[in-house]
Structure 1
Amino acid sequence: MLPYVIATLGSAGATCKASTCSNSTKDYCYSARIRSTVLQGLPFGGVPTVLALDFMCFLALLFVFSILRKVAWDYGRLALVTDADSVASALHSDNHDRYERLTSVSSSVDFDQRDNGFCSWLTAIFRIKDDEIRDKCGGDAVHYLSFQRHIIGLLVAVGVLSVGIVLPVNFSGDLLENNAYSFGRTTIANLNSGNNLLWLHTSFAFLYLLLTVYSMRRHTSKMRYKEDDLVKRTLFINGISKYAEPEKIKKHFEEAYANCTVLEARPCYDVARLMFLDAERKKAERGRIYFTNLQSKENTPSMINPKPCGHLCCCVIRGCEEVEAIEYYTKLEEKLKDDYKREKEKVNEKPLGMAFVTFHNETITAIILKDFNACKCQGCACRGEPRASSCSESLHVSNWTVSYAPDPQNIYWEHLSIRGFIWWIRCLVINVVLFILLFFLTTPAIIITTMDKFNVTKPVEYLNNPIITQFFPTLLLWCFSALLPTIVYYSAFFEAHWTRSGENRTTMHKCYTFLIFMVLLLPSLGLSSLDVFFRWLFDKKFLAEAAVRFECVFLPDNGAFFVNYVIASAFIGNAMDLLRIPGLLMYMIRLCLARSAAERRNVKRHQAYEFQFGAAYAWMMCVFTVVMTYSITCPIIVPFGLMYMLLKHLVDRYNLYYAYLPAKLDKKIHSGAVNQVVAAPILCLFWLLFFSTMRTGFLAPTSMFTFVVLVITIVICLCHVCFGHFKYLSAHNYKIDHTEVDTIENRQNGRPATSLPAPKSAKYIAQVLQDSSPEGEATESEEQGSQDEELINADGMNDTDFQSCEDSLIENEIHQ
């Protein structure tokens, strides 16, 4: 189909020159833009104007962030002002090489002198070392930042070639107007169809592909991804009989497989409600302790309004009477404690038919995994059976699904109860609704068109100011391109994946695919939505209109639209990532809904979330793909793409360290990002193929060369991704280290030996089932409170050294 379409494009479009493209064709293409004024009426495609306006907005947003960071509830350093309960667990953990990010107390002590000024956080970004990021944020953060640095290096090389060689070649053409302010002179559209210099563009496109693969192989070879020994020796089994006993599971493996020793078999239970009750109980407990300590200092009882937003209520009306704080939280804690106990007693009655089984070495684990997976011919009646034992029938071994277990910190324990048919129906419904929504609202242009029906954008058009009409559309493009992927992100969140890696990987692929359609493909072709795209694709007039559609890609000012988008992403997008407006709004809402000063402090210490690698990879790869796709047809875009990546790297370094909690993922999310990088130079080859076909025909040497290179590249990529072939030609070159973190039982001569107990984080059991009794935890919480005070007062530090504006407001509220 592709060669036929391209051949038709060549015959239909070879006669169309850049100088003869009619105004009707331009209007036809610009119909997918936000209003018809976009990219028209300003010199050099409006790039200088957009650059100046976006840079001023960038400085203003940085100033706003500095103010927020200084006075607004430590918002700029939430990850250092997080849950104080984790201080004790971090201090007493046996697993010190894991994420040692402490909390507000210890982390603030470490970096109090580094970032205590109004703008000192700017220099702190450069002083944070990778080792510090690894210790506090985990290996995934270092891997992510290394990925960005290699993309920056790649863009430097591409920028030198594009700006230093391709740009002067484009300038040498004479098809477009000889005007120093004409943006079209910088594009490939300025060259004649018979110009031999077009071979340079084709060769450079292939060179960029090789540079991309080399850069990613260099990145993956330097990043030694550490896999815990415990993970490599543990299997996750689904489909077990719900009432199977751990001893029977152990007996089955030790009977069926020679020299097999099972160290541990842990069935999984439905703990979703138990985890909810545990979290609520701890909140009530912290509230009681807070007001108890306050009363011991002030010698006066505190009164609170127990309704949502109670601290904002200034009048006493029926139903909103104030109550004594300690009495209220004591009763609430006792009620939740009773509910927690009852639910914990019933947990063993809610098995999920899953188990984590840990073996004594990796060899036997691999043998068992191969035995279960090699014999399964999906959909065939003659399916083989794994090795049997005396317990096989009662355990339903033939129904088991076996895979390597994820890291314990990678598991959403509360999501394990959503499984099987229910999970698939839930996933199907969510994605069908998402597809229907995005099918008609794929791009910001279609949203603006809908808004135009209600005359929302008319006032901007009536201003007839070229600066506003140039700046406003690119700003709207960025805003809606931020809103629509958020919907895609939350769809992956509500799918209730079992692991953080699975959720992030799904988010990355879905968001990236959607962003490429929304930002790059459809606007380039002059289309406004997937609805229009499919109607055009399957319409009888498809081939007749194909040539005109692909002319849209190479209109002189088309590249300027994407240059402006990259500039907006670099300045406004990165500044908004620093501000984290959605998180700030959620923060304010949660503070307003708090019932007391204790709950407001609790909100403050629980506002930091894990860094969403999937969404971050998707956004970054979208902009990178736009830059690489137009790096030859419009080489001026590359320096702005490099500027975007530099700012993105600095913003992410700050956010990873100061604003987000660490996340433990697997290497699939990072290898998936590497695969997406290769898509960028492939799209660049597609763009050159379409240009060459439109100008010179499909049978021209440049077209045939580009087509052959493109087909070979796609075949190699598909064979590698789907079947694992061509490993030495792929962008992957990972080296995996195994780290001995499992201290459950060390082995001596193949037999277990006594050792220290495993840390909680290294056990395949939900944290809520590892916790001690509520009575013991109450004592521990009070001790933790005193430990926090000791940490604060260490090294001569005072509590006021860490007191933000929000803390002062809370204290003032108590004394009133």
Structure 2
Amino acid sequence: MIVSALLTSVGINSGLCVLFFNLYSILKKQPEYYNVYAPRLLVDGELRMSNSFNIERLIPNPGWMRQTWELSEDEFLSSSGLDAMVFMHIITFSLRVFTLSGIIGVFVLLPVNFSGDQLQDINFANLTNNSLDLFTISNLKNGSKRLWVHFWAIYIITIFVCYLLYYEYAYVSSKRIAFLHSSIPLPQHFTILVHSIPLQPRTNINNTVENFFMEYHPSTYLSHLAVGRANKLINRNEVRAAFVSFKSRYAASMALHMQQSDNPIEWVTEQAPAPHDVYWPFFYSSFMQRWISKLVVVFVCLLLTFLFLIPVLIVQGLTNLSQLEARVPFLKSILKIAFISQVLTGYLPSLILQLFLKAVPRIMKFLSSIQGYISRSEIKRSACNKVLWFTVWNIFLANVFSGSIFNQLAVFLEPKNVPARLAVAVPGQASFFIAYVVTSGWTSTSTELFRLIPLIISLIKKPFVKPSSTDEFKAPTFSYHVHIPRVLFFGLLGITYFFLAPLILPFLSIYFCLGYIIYRNQLINVYAPKYETGGRYWPIVHNSVIFSLLMMHAIAVGIFTLKKLPLASSLLVPLPVFTLVFNSYCRKRFLPIFTGYSAESLINKDRDDINEDPRMAEFFNALVTAYQNPALLPKHNNNHETQSSPLLSTVQV
């Protein structure tokens, strides 16, 4: 890709961003569009409908940015939840990383790369027709002493990223513990799910569960509720599962982490989700059905990965103008028009790939829903992992190798050749990924602000549907499995291309600045917290950044080997070792906090409730029926949320 093609892409997407920002600042002030741009505030009663005309409504202004910025983190946490805070910390973490890496990359590495003469002489008089490869490490000659600048930059960024990772892991962990201590009593803290309950002769599931827990947990057992089928034609005790509640958080945790039976595949326990978060179809599948479904999911994921290579190959054909002319000869005359060729190579490939990617989160969420997870929040967290690694493989690795050494993919499968092959392939796709950041990053994030699809749906429904009251209207929930993989993927691009093509860093910094303002605004005004994991997305973030660092190290070793600087390659070997040791320490130090709470935290919280909360008796009474299947409730009372007292909060920690 040449510089002019990149500038064309930047121009188109910048124009779209400005258009979306201005339209948003006007439409958000129109009362008839409150249900699109401020549904959460509308439901909470913080907005009043007004029909009086005001000329100020028609004038765009950036005042909403200031309002978004001024909200403190504690206020944001209390209103939007821990998962939302974690998501915003992904963006602030990335901003810190790319602030330092951007300074080093733009003011140190970029001039060093640009001053090389490995590729061709630079035509300063016609700079826009030069290849973007002139700004990459490929422009430095083999054995050049200037490569040591990149070596030290890699060391600095690795240490800095690891320091920030440790700080953020510690901070999010402390917030997770603090959130427990500040929360009201929640059903999921006192309840576990028990499944694979052995059938006893001449007795039902209810009696079996009660007899077992009264015998082995006599002082702490409170109550249980057997899981019933919604299908009235099938016997309801056929589901060998029950929600078992205890008199304290500590007792529930002890029962959760202790093997209940000498037979480890009976009386299996796991943490209960919040009552409204339970995914009831899980209980209707047998062990064999769930096991087969997991195999099917693996097969479908592999098939989807293979099929996605088709749009990847199409995109790579568009990015290479000479290949496109050779394969489609009748386009030669059209491609001679500068603007058309620039759009085809700089804007269209990223747009096509983005359109294909739109369906992936929905597919992954569906696949996760048939794997046996008992909560909707866990389904989304599993889908988040699937979308992330699908994106890394199909957008990063598949693009890299289909564009450069697709025919040599068999060689790539030899582990000892991986660094060298990555070193050849990755720099060659720098221009494509810069355009991808601009198209998928800038414009997609601005589209999230403008909410184009909900706006269109609202306009279509408006003539046919009567306005509903705010009591019937529900605010949407944030799709973490869609947005977290995208943000982490851009972080991967920034870390891996930091020393290869530092020109990508300013575009990434702009993306994260846009993301901070836009996503914070949306989480305050649009999305209401409903399903929470209690900050358990952060370990996914940590693992993704560690993978990005290791990928950068592997590419760097290969680059310095190809550039005839073997000493630099050898001196880089300690970096991945240090990164892996650091990751191992973080897993031991912080990961247990995200899988459960300590006895110290649970006992202290139990004592606080006994001493300070006079409503615990009321809470325990409500807990007995908190986990009823809403499909089995009477039709006139089928809204599950009405079954819970105010003590049974909908927020899950």
TM-score, length-scaled by structure 2: 0.78
Distance 1:413 1:576 in 2: 34
Shift of 1:625: 0.8
The counterpart of 1:268, out of the listed 209, 222, 227, is: 227
Tell me if the contact between 1:209 and 1:681 (Cα under 8 Å) persists in the aligned partners: yes
State the SS of the aligned residue for 1:269: coil
Question: Hey, what does 2:430 align to over in structure 1?
Answer: 559
Shift of 1:710: 2.4
Tell me if the contact between 2:223 and 2:624 (Cα under 8 Å) persists in the aligned partners: no
The counterpart of 1:518, out of the listed 394, 403, 406, is: 394
Where in structure 2 are the equivalents of 1:487-498 lying within 5 Å?
Answer: 487-496=360-369, 497-498=373-374
Encode CA deviations 1:34-77: one digit per residue, 9 max, x unaligned. xxxxx14x45xx33332222111212233444565435573222
Question: Hey, what does 2:239 align to over in structure 1?
Answer: 352
In structure 2, give the amino acid aligned to 1:626.
L
Distance 1:776 1:488 in 2: 30
State the SS of the aligned residue for 1:622: helix
State the SS of the aligned residue for 2:38: helix
The counterpart of 1:149, out of the listed 83, 87, 92, is: 92
Distance 1:483 1:460 in 2: 27
The counterpart of 1:198, out of the listed 147, 151, 172, is: 147
Q: Taking structure 1 as reference, are residues 430 and 139 closer, same or farther at Cα in structure 2, changes over 3 Å only? A: same
State the SS of the aligned residue for 2:225: strand
Distance 1:762 1:634 in 2: 60
Distance 2:192 2:259 in 1: 11
Question: Hey, what does 2:648 align to over in structure 1?
Answer: none
Question: Hey, what does 1:140 align to over in structure 2?
Answer: 83
Question: Hey, what does 2:489 align to over in structure 1?
Answer: 622
The counterpart of 2:12, out of the listed 53, 66, 72, is: 53
Q: Taking structure 1 as reference, are residues 457 and 619 closer, same or farther at Cα in structure 2, changes over 3 Å only? A: farther
Shift of 1:156: 0.9
Distance 2:15 2:465 in 1: 38
2:507 corresponds to 1:652: no
Question: Hey, what does 1:410 align to over in structure 2?
Answer: 277
2:217 corresponds to 1:239: no
Question: Hey, what does 1:385 align to over in structure 2?
Answer: 262
Encode CA deviations 1:392-440: one digit per residue, 9 max, x unaligned. xxxxx86121123233343223543345322343343344234323303
In structure 1, give the amino acid aligned to 2:486.
W
Encode CA deviations 1:257-295: one digit per residue, 9 max, x unaligned. 5x7321222222234x7xxxxxxxxxxxxxxxxxxxxxx
Question: Hey, what does 1:428 align to over in structure 2?
Answer: 295
Question: Hey, what does 2:47 align to over in structure 1?
Answer: 108
Distance 2:539 2:499 in 1: 27
Distance 2:305 2:147 in 1: 38
Shift of 1:129: 4.0
Tell me if the contact between 2:350 and 2:440 (Cα under 8 Å) persists in the aligned partners: no
Structure 2: tracts of 5 or more residues without a match: 319-323, 643-653
In structure 1, give the amino acid aligned to 2:567.
P
Tell me if the contact between 2:227 and 2:239 (Cα under 8 Å) persists in the aligned partners: yes
Tell me if the contact between 2:494 and 2:505 (Cα under 8 Å) persists in the aligned partners: yes
Question: Hey, what does 2:37 align to over in structure 1?
Answer: 76
Shift of 1:618: 0.2
Question: Hey, what does 2:337 align to over in structure 1?
Answer: 465
Question: Hey, what does 1:680 align to over in structure 2?
Answer: 548
Shift of 1:217: 2.1
Tell me if the contact between 1:412 and 1:500 (Cα under 8 Å) persists in the aligned partners: yes
Q: Figure out how many residues of one structure are paired with residues of the other and give that number.
A: 602
Tell me if the contact between 1:746 and 1:755 (Cα under 8 Å) persists in the aligned partners: no
In structure 1, give the amino acid aligned to 2:573.
F
Shift of 1:776: 11
The counterpart of 2:102, out of the listed 130, 143, 159, is: 159
Shift of 1:476: 3.6
Q: Taking structure 1 as reference, are residues 56 and 363 closer, same or farther at Cα in structure 2, changes over 3 Å only? A: closer
Question: Hey, what does 1:774 align to over in structure 2?
Answer: 636
Distance 2:21 2:267 in 1: 54
> What fraction of aligned residue pairs are identical, expressed as a percent?
18
The counterpart of 2:468, out of the listed 598, 601, 605, is: 601
Q: Taking structure 1 as reference, are residues 758 and 129 closer, same or farther at Cα in structure 2, changes over 3 Å only? A: farther
Question: Hey, what does 1:671 align to over in structure 2?
Answer: 539
Greater CA deviation, 727-736 or 215-224? 727-736
State the SS of the aligned residue for 2:617: coil
Q: Taking structure 1 as reference, are residues 720 and 576 closer, same or farther at Cα in structure 2, changes over 3 Å only? A: same
2:155 corresponds to 1:217: no
Q: Taking structure 1 as reference, are residues 525 and 456 closer, same or farther at Cα in structure 2, changes over 3 Å only? A: closer
Q: Taking structure 1 as reference, are residues 490 and 733 closer, same or farther at Cα in structure 2, changes over 3 Å only? A: closer
Question: Hey, what does 1:691 align to over in structure 2?
Answer: 559
Shift of 1:459: 6.6
In structure 1, give the amino acid aligned to 2:165.
M
Tell me if the contact between 2:193 and 2:241 (Cα under 8 Å) persists in the aligned partners: yes
2:534 corresponds to 1:704: no
Q: Taking structure 1 as reference, are residues 466 and 624 closer, same or farther at Cα in structure 2, changes over 3 Å only? A: farther
State the SS of the aligned residue for 2:468: helix
Q: Taking structure 1 as reference, are residues 638 and 123 closer, same or farther at Cα in structure 2, changes over 3 Å only? A: same
Q: Taking structure 1 as reference, are residues 536 and 195 closer, same or farther at Cα in structure 2, changes over 3 Å only? A: closer
Distance 2:480 2:88 in 1: 11
In structure 1, give the amino acid aligned to 2:437.
V
Encode CA deviations 1:97-143: one digit per residue, 9 max, x unaligned. xxxxxx16x13249999xx9454544443344434433432222122
Where in structure 2 are the equivalents of 1:296-445 lying within 5 Å?
Answer: 349=236, 352-372=239-259, 385=262, 399-418=266-285, 420-442=287-309, 444-445=311-312
Q: Taking structure 1 as reference, are residues 546 and 194 closer, same or farther at Cα in structure 2, changes over 3 Å only? A: closer
Shift of 1:622: 0.8
The CA RMSD measured in Å over matched residues stands at 4.6
Q: Taking structure 1 as reference, are residues 465 and 123 closer, same or farther at Cα in structure 2, changes over 3 Å only? A: farther
In structure 1, give the amino acid aligned to 2:480.
F
In structure 2, give the amino acid aligned to 1:489.
R
Q: Taking structure 1 as reference, are residues 614 and 548 closer, same or farther at Cα in structure 2, changes over 3 Å only? A: closer
Q: Taking structure 1 as reference, are residues 747 and 267 closer, same or farther at Cα in structure 2, changes over 3 Å only? A: farther
Tell me if the contact between 1:267 and 1:356 (Cα under 8 Å) persists in the aligned partners: yes
Larger Rg: 1
